Amino acid sequence: MGLINLISLNSKGDERGHLVAIEARNEIPFDIKRVYYIFGTESLSRGFHAHKELVQLAVCVKGSCTMLLDDGFSRESVILDSPFYGILIPKMAWREMHNFSQDCVLLVLASEYYCEADYIRDYQEFLIEVENAKK
């Protein structure tokens, strides 16, 4: 299976506009403990880390950005530019976010509360953890 797992989000659209609902354990395979959103982005890239346990769904509800995922063996990227789908970011995936449009609003639903100890912010350390997981 590829690294990029896009989840299609159904819109209850009518003449008044769109409404997208995301339910835990329905559209996404985890309970939601935290929601955050990234906006006011300029050209600077973000991310450059992996999470030991955290699973997330990221939806670009406005504008666009590029999401790169790396499992320690290969890397793939996808342009997020639609509120009609989200990308599932599994645990132990190195992520980088590039090419933010100025109007980008990236909504993220997270399976865990914020925990700095869950972050792996060093790429070499990430590769070692991936190797250890194979043993």
Q: Let me know: does 113 contact 55? Beta carbons within 8 Å.
A: no
To ligand T46, the closest distance from the beta carbon of 60 in angstroms equals 11
| Residue 105 touching ligand T46 (CB under 6 A) | no
Interface residue with ligand T46, options 4, 7, 20, 38 (CB under 6 A): 38
| Residue 36 touching ligand T46 (CB under 6 A) | yes
Told to judge if 18 belongs to the known catalytic residues of this protein, a careful annotator would answer: no
Parallel, antiparallel, or unpaired: how do β-strands 46-51 and 56-62 relate? Answer: unpaired
**Cβ closest to ligand T46, residue 60 vs residue 95:** 95
Q: Let me know: does 83 contact 61? Beta carbons within 8 Å.
A: yes
Read off the tokens for 127: 């590769």
To ligand T46, the closest distance from the beta carbon of 65 in angstroms equals 10
Q: Tell me how far apart the alpha carbons of residues 53 and 102 are, in angstroms, rounded to a whole number.
A: 31
Q: Let me know: does 130 contact 71? Beta carbons within 8 Å.
A: yes
Q: Let me know: does 111 contact 31? Beta carbons within 8 Å.
A: yes
To ligand T46, the closest distance from the beta carbon of 11 in angstroms equals 23
Interface residue with ligand T46, options 4, 30, 39, 47 (CB under 6 A): 47
To ligand T46, the closest distance from the beta carbon of 12 in angstroms equals 26
| Residue 55 touching ligand T46 (CB under 6 A) | no
Q: Which of 57, 120, 67 is CA-nearest to residue 97?
A: 67
Among all residues, which ones are annotated catalytic? Answer: 49
* Footprint on this chain of ligand T46 (rule: CB under 6 A): 34, 36, 38, 46-47, 56, 58, 95, 108, 114
